[in-house]
């Protein structure tokens, strides 16, 4: 046998990719303490805490408007499964945290979806979980977004059509609805 055949099988590692955005990130340098663009190993039993207190948080956000501990992420293995995940908990008494529009008050927690947007204050974080097999540790990989993660989209709202059959959207656009016979080809 060759040394290649005798080598231990390499285990894949769960990686939590997080892309951060704040409108003042260039002036205030609130992400300067994050190890950007480099993967960092975290032991499975450790909690990944985010906030401004360097004695309590693993990941520091240099901003006086951020709570001492803003939120925490706990790595875990799902019951009766080899699949791993993360649980996110809001640790701020003053600021609500939203995860894909689910609002979390102080000490509320939920499972982190495999891809989601986390928001608090003016902070926007795109979180994506890359699954792995290791149960001893996971990795974090941080990036900065150049533009807001949540973009306001100018799509017409789906409003109910009034009984006269003319939507206010068409009228506001200066358009008149066209009547089409259902038996005519389009």
**pLDDT tens per residue, range 142-155:** 999 999 998 743 33
What is the rounded CA–CA span in Å between residue 145 and residue 17?
A: 12
What is the rounded CA–CA span in Å between residue 19 and residue 5?
A: 38
pTM over 0.85: no
What is the rounded CA–CA span in Å between residue 106 and residue 91?
A: 6
Domain spans, the chain = 11-144
Of 37-41, 156-160, 175-179, the range with the lowest mean pLDDT is: 156-160
Q: Contact at 8 Å (CB) between 132 and 17? A: no
Whether CATH 2.60.40.10 fits 11-144: no
Specify the pLDDT at position 4. 52
Q: Which of 103 and 164 is assigned the larger pLDDT?
A: 103
**pLDDT tens per residue, range 39-96:** 999 999 999 999 999 999 999 999 999 999 999 999 998 888 878 899 999 999 999 9
């Amino acid at each position: 046998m060759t040394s290649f055949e005798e080598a231990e099988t390499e285990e894949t590692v769960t990686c939590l990719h997080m892309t951060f955005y704040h409108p003042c990130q260039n002036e205030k340098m609130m992400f300067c303490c994050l190890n950007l663009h480099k993967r960092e190993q975290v032991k499975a039993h450790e909690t990944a805490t985010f906030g401004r207190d360097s004695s309590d948080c693993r990941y520091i956000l240099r901003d006086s408007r951020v709570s001492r501990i803003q939120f925490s992420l706990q790595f875990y293995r799902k019951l009766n499964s080899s699949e791993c995940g993360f649980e996110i908990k809001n640790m701020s008494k003053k600021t609500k945290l939203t995860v894909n529009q689910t609002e979390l008050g102080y000490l509320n927690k939920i499972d982190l979806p495999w891809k989601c947007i986390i928001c608090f204050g003016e902070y926007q974080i795109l979180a994506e979980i890359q699954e792995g097999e290791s149960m001893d540790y996971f990795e974090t990989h941080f990036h900065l977004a150049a533009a807001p993660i949540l973009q306001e989209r100018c799509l017409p709202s789906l409003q109910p059509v009034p009984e006269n059959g003319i939507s206010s959207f068409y009228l506001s656009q200066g358009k008149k609805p066209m009547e089409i016979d259902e038996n005519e080809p389009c």
